[in-house]
Amino acid sequence: MTHEEIIALIKREVKPALGCTEPIAVALAVAKAVEIISENCTCSGNWRLKADFRLDISVSGNILKNGMGVGIPGTGMVGLPVAAALGAVCGDSSRGLEVLSALNKDAVARAKELVARKKVKVSVADTEHLLYVKATVAVEGGAIASAEVDPHAYAVIEDDHDRIVETSYADKILMSSESGAAATERSTDEYDLNVQVIVDFARTAPFEDIKFILQDRTYNLALAKEGLRGDYGLQVGKTIRENQEEVFGDDFLSYAMGLTAAASDARMAGCTLPAMSNSGSGNQGITVSMPVIAYALKYEVDDESLARALILSNLVAIHIKHYLGKLSALCGCVVASTGSACGIVYLQGGGYDQICAAIKNMAGNITGMVCDGAKVGCAMKVASGVSCAVQSAVLALRGTCIPSTDGIIEDDVEKTIRNIGTIGSAGMKTTDHMILDIMLCK
């Protein structure tokens, strides 16, 4: 991949997201459908706060799994229905994964009212897409001055959280494009990224071209500080930092675990601050960056070195996700913490061989961690991932690497990465269905 292609890849996969990206994808699809209605009707004033919406949301099992128990920003509620309702009353699809950036108390109150009146229906779609949302919106009179009876529209998202592939108004298709899966399949032969290329790029790219990645620190450190200030979720990060003398100590490991978990605490509990995401996940964006940022803060690393480490950590995570897919039964923390292990190795002076060793150490450690949906408990998995990342980095820097005689590890780091992807995307399909069945039957 060329220098420009790698920069474009990072900017496509690393971007701000307000709220957990699965319910946010639902809100985005709803917002787009509402905007289509607005464009085709005569609407007066702030009609969206008054309209009697009827929302029919059809999602893939993985979207449902990750949307059932996670906090929705500013609402004190969890789940897809309130996210969908917020998309209707205040969503702005032009903002992408920050679709709910215009959130306010009036919008929250109206969204809660729509949910209470059972105006939002969520069902599981019959689809092969792991990431799929179809939001059908109808307006049942009142706020629209001139339109056919009950104007209705829909928008479909596939394969990426912000990729709208089809829209319709009044049963007429307005736009239809190839799905993300088709686009990915078409471009697979052009994919030419590997760990060696990633390391070389992180080391040699002009600082001016990559310093944008320092936004990781701006967004995710703000979330971490908010998580430490407030009483969010399970307060995992706060508990680690407040028990440093008796239990955890005041070393880098506990500092990194505390900051990273605190950011996840805040995000999973519905904090209204955005995260800088990676590969469509805010938690992955937090986990891939905060341990590296924590190291830079504790040891006063300069901005250029931090930027290069963050480029490395983000690209390693993106590279692994290329084989794994955006959603799977494998916890994204595994991928993200592998990236942060590489970033820590880099900041401690490690080279390509040590970075490969860190990846293999991670693959042989926590690859089996399952994803049982997005929720406040994710902060505990994040803390575990950070702990493993630091262990793996320290061992790699000492020249210790899990050998190819062990499990899924191979001498070739690229084959090891592909093994992780195969296990998560193909091998754990039954696990994914079983987890969702358990969650739905509780």
Task: Give the separation between CA 251 and CA 248, rounded to whole angstroms.
Answer: 8
Task: Give the separation between CA 37 and CA 41, rounded to whole angstroms.
Answer: 6
- The pLDDT value recorded for residue 203 is 97
**Tally of CB atoms within 10 A around 192:** 10
The alpha carbon of residue 403 and the mean position of all alpha carbons in its chain are separated, in whole angstroms, by 31
Task: Give the separation between CA 367 and CA 330, rounded to whole angstroms.
Answer: 7
Q: Which residue has the tokens 């900051």?
A: 259
Pairing of strands 77-78, 172-176: unpaired
Pairing of strands 164-169, 77-78: unpaired
Pairing of strands 132-139, 152-158: antiparallel
147-172: per-residue pLDDT in tens? Answer: 556 788 999 999 999 999 999 998 89
Task: Tell me the residue length of the chain.
Answer: 442
- The pLDDT value recorded for residue 182 is 54
Task: Give the separation between CA 286 and CA 281, rounded to whole angstroms.
Answer: 9
**Residues forming a β-bridge with 409:** none
In degrees and rounded to multiples of 5, residue 243 shows phi and psi of -115, 30
Pairing of strands 120-124, 53-59: parallel
Do 230 and 266 meet the contact criterion of CB atoms below 8 Å apart? yes
**What are the tokens at 324?**
């794994």
Q: Which positions ≥6 away from 48 have C-beta within 8 Å?
A: 34, 38, 88, 89, 90, 143
DSSP secondary-structure letter at 171? T
Task: Give the separation between CA 129 and CA 123, rounded to whole angstroms.
Answer: 15
Q: Is the dihedral of CA 335, 285, 160, 195 positive or negative?
A: negative
- The pLDDT value recorded for residue 186 is 43
- The pLDDT value recorded for residue 274 is 94
375-415: per-residue pLDDT in tens? Answer: 999 999 999 999 999 999 999 999 999 999 999 999 999 99
To the nearest 10 degrees (0 to 180), the angle between helices 303-324 and 215-229 is 90
DSSP per position, 290-354? HHHHHHHHHTT--HHHHHHHHHHHHHHHHHHHHHH-SS-SB-HHHHHHHHHHHHHHHHTT--HHH
- The pLDDT value recorded for residue 308 is 98
Q: What's the whole-number average pLDDT of the chain?
A: 91
DSSP secondary-structure letter at 281? B
- Least Cα distance to 19 among 99, 139, 128 occurs for 99
For 73, the enclosing helix (H) or strand (E) is none
- Does this model's pTM top 0.95? My answer is no
Weakly modelled stretches of the chain, pLDDT under 70 = 44, 141-149, 179-190, 245
